[in-house]
Amino acid sequence: MPPLISVRDVSRIYRNGPKEIHALDRVSFEVNEGCFVSLVGPSGCGKSTLLKIVSGLLPASSGEVAVDGRGVRAPIENVGMVFQSPVLLKWKNVLGNIMLPVEFARLDRSPHMERARSLIRLVGLEGFEEMFPFQLSGGMQQRVSLCRALVTDPGILLMDEPFGALDAMTRDELDLELLRIWEERRKTVLFVTHNIQEAVFLSDFVVVMSARPGRVLSKLGIDLPRPRGVEIMSSSRFGEYTLQIRAMLAPASGSPALVAGSTT
Ligand SMILES: Nc1ncnc2c1ncn2[C@@H]1O[C@H](COP(=O)(O)OP(=O)(O)O)[C@@H](O)[C@H]1O
Ligand SMILES: [Mg+2]
């Protein structure tokens, strides 16, 4: 089966007047349908840029992204996105925020309302349907944005450091929930993080990127059994994977700021 997402020699240069920033340098990788793939790399290496290019929100300067065999030239459909900040509308309640994509796309309300309610149950937000964002913790807000990304049942989830702003305990909790949802609904996930442990814990494959301009240093298959629980983090295999990635990103290769398990 051909890969669902294929990224071929993608480069991106930002031009601000005479100034050029080379954000990505000939990045290539593939994501098969149903796979969980993480992009890990230091801050500023072009991870968000790459995710925007994959989603069709931003053009590549050169190279090509294809989704489902078609070249991406405009924002793709069949995708849900989750960002680091939950970007909820403060005047809409939980249910209203989750239903936004349904309203935008003018889809049939009632089946999606049912979906929204089942997602709310799935992420443990039952009883909070009528609450407004200011009444929710950061973790709960991010759960809402996860439900919003899933409400139209997209095949692809693109996630840009979705739990990066949360405390470590809440992040672990949401990582587990995400895996549970993924195992149940089998989305194809492209997940961006600068947290090595999080990448190893979640993924089938980890694409390790260099400091800017972002290049692919390695594509590492994570051969750990599923379903995964937190106890897997204390296994020696898990430790070997994180060490291996940490070594690739060691200061010698230009990323002193990146630490395994960093929460910032
Ligand atoms: N709109 C933009 N204009 C100019 N430079 C940008 C723009 N967006 C990002 N960059 C630069 O591109 C590089 C990669 O940014 P980004 O993709 O946000 O990295 P990451 O998500 O890995 O932290 C950074 O050096 C950043 O300053
Ligand atoms: Mg980013």
* Residue 252, pLDDT score: 59
Protein residue with least CA distance to atom 24, ligand 1:
44
Backbone φ and ψ of 11, nearest 5° = -120, 155
Q: CA 78, CA 43: separation in Å to the nearest integer?
A: 28
Q: Residue 69 C-alpha to ligand 1 middle, in angstroms?
A: 27
5-16/62-67 β-pairing: antiparallel
For 186-196, b/e burial (b = at least 16 CB within 10 A) is: ebbbbbbbbbb
Q: Is 35 helix (H, G, I), strand (E, B) or coil?
A: coil
Instruction: Please enumerate in sequence order all residues whose Cβ is within 8 A of that of 236, keeping only pairs 6 or more positions apart, or say none.
Output: none
CA distances from 257 to 2, 44, 83, 142 (A): 37, 11, 22, 26
Atom number in ligand 1 closest to CA 16 = 4
Beta bridge mates, 7: 29, 65
Instruction: Please enumerate in sequence order all residues whose Cβ is within 8 A of that of 182, keeping only pairs 6 or more positions apart, or say none.
Output: 36, 189
Atom number in ligand 1 closest to CA 209 = 22
N-to-C CA span, the chain: 38
Q: Could you read off the pLDDT tens digit of each residue along the chain, which spans 264 residues? A: 889 999 999 999 999 899 999 999 999 999 999 999 999 999 999 999 999 999 999 999 999 999 999 999 999 989 999 998 889 999 999 999 999 999 999 999 999 999 999 999 988 999 999 999 999 999 999 999 999 999 999 999 999 999 998 899 989 989 999 999 999 888 999 999 999 999 999 999 999 999 999 999 999 999 999 999 999 999 999 999 999 999 999 865 444 445 455 444
Q: Residue 113 C-alpha to ligand 1 middle, in angstroms?
A: 37
Ligand nearest the Cα atom of residue 22 = 1
Q: Residue 121 C-alpha to ligand 2 middle, in angstroms?
A: 30
